[in-house]
Amino acid sequence: MKRFNELGIVVVLVALVVVIGLFHPAFLDRAQLLDVVRQASYVGVLACGMTYLLAMRELDLSVGSTYALSLIAGSMLMRAGVNPWLAALGGVAAGGVLGLVNGVLCNALQIPSIIATLGTLSVFRGLALALSDGRQVAGLPREDPFFTVVGGDLLGVPTSIWLLVAVAAALTVVFKHTPFGHRVRAIGSNPEAARFSGISIPRMRLQVLALSGALAGVAGVLTLGFFASGQPTIGQGYELQAIAAAIIGGTPLRGGSGTVWGSVIGTIILGTVASGLVYFGVPINWSLFATGIVILLAVALDALLRRRGSVEVS
C-alpha cells in the first residue's frame, strides 16, 4: 500500500511536469527542472524531519524559524573569522539545540508540541532578527571552498540535491529498519500501548524534535552555501510547506506510519506548482494561496482515507 502511495504521487508529479511542459516547453529544460528541485531541496530536508514528527503524532511549527536562526548563526560565525566548515557545523548544532529546547519545553510544561513550537516560532524568528539587527549578514569569505562545494554542482547536479537524497536515504533506513524508527511508529500507532511496552514517549519526543531541529540546521547551511549570506526573514511559511509535503507524500496525520521519500516528492510537487504558476504568468503572491489549497486538499484526502479505513475495519 505504501509503495502504491509513493507511486501515485510520482505519477502526479510527472503529470504536473508534462502539463506545464506542453504549454511551456522551456519548463522541460534540464537546467530548469534541476533548479526546481534545488529550490525544493531546502524544504525537502525539513519535510524529512516532519515525517518523523507526524508519524509520532507531533508537529514542529518552528522549523522555518529554526532554519533561519541556524543560517544566521552559521553566517555570523563565518563573518567573525571562524572556518566556514566549522561554522557550518555550528549552524547544524544550533538547529539541534533549538530542537532540544522545543523538546524540553514540551516535557517540562507537559504541553503538546504544536503549542510549544507555536511559541518558539516567534521566539526563534525574533532571535534571528535581533542577532542580525534585522539586516542581511554579508561580508562572508565567498572565495572559500565551502561555497564552491556546498553552493555548487557535483557531476552536473546541485550539491543540495545530492545531500537531500543522502538525508532521505539515511532517514528511510532509520525509520524502517532500526529500533528508533520502530519506536516512532509504535508511539504514533498507539501511545498507550507504546508506553505500556516500556517506550519512553518524553525521551522519544525530545530526540525527534532535536532531529527536526538539526535537519533545519542542515537546510540552513545548504542555503548559506548557495547564497553566501544570511537573511533573517528567510524561511517564513516553510513549516507549512514541510507539513504539506509530508501529508501529500503519504504520511497520515493520525500517525503510526510515514514515508520519507514520499515527503521529498511532495516537496518537489509543491515546488513544481509554484514554478508552474510563474510560467503561466500568475503573480508570485498567489503561490502562497496555491500552497494553502494544496494543503487543504491533502488534509481532506487524508481525512477521507481515514474514514474509509474506519468503515472497512468496522
CA 20 to chain CA mean position, Å: 25
pLDDT of amino acid 10: 84
**For residue 2, what are the β-bridge partners?**
none
pTM, 2 dp: 0.89
Which pLDDT belongs to residue 309? 55
pLDDT of residue 61: 94
Within 8 A by CB and 6+ apart from 3, the residues are none
| pLDDT recorded at residue 54 | 94
Cell numbers describing residue 280: 503561466
Distances (CA, A) of 310 to 249, 297, 304: 21, 20, 10
Cα angle: 99, vertex 101, 107; to 5 degrees: 105
For the chain, list the domains and their CATH numbers: 2-16+31-303 (1.10.3470)
Which residues are CB-contacts of 48 (< 8 A; sequence separation ≥ 6)? 167, 168, 171, 215, 260, 263, 264
* CA count, 13 A, side-chain hemisphere, 307: 6
Q: Cα separation of 79 and 75, whole Å?
A: 6
Count of all residues that appear for the chain in the document: 314
Closest CA to 260 of 164, 186, 158: 164
Q: What is the pLDDT of residue 153?
A: 85
* pLDDT given at position 4: 45
Residue numbers of the chain with a pLDDT score lower than 50: 1, 3-4, 313-314
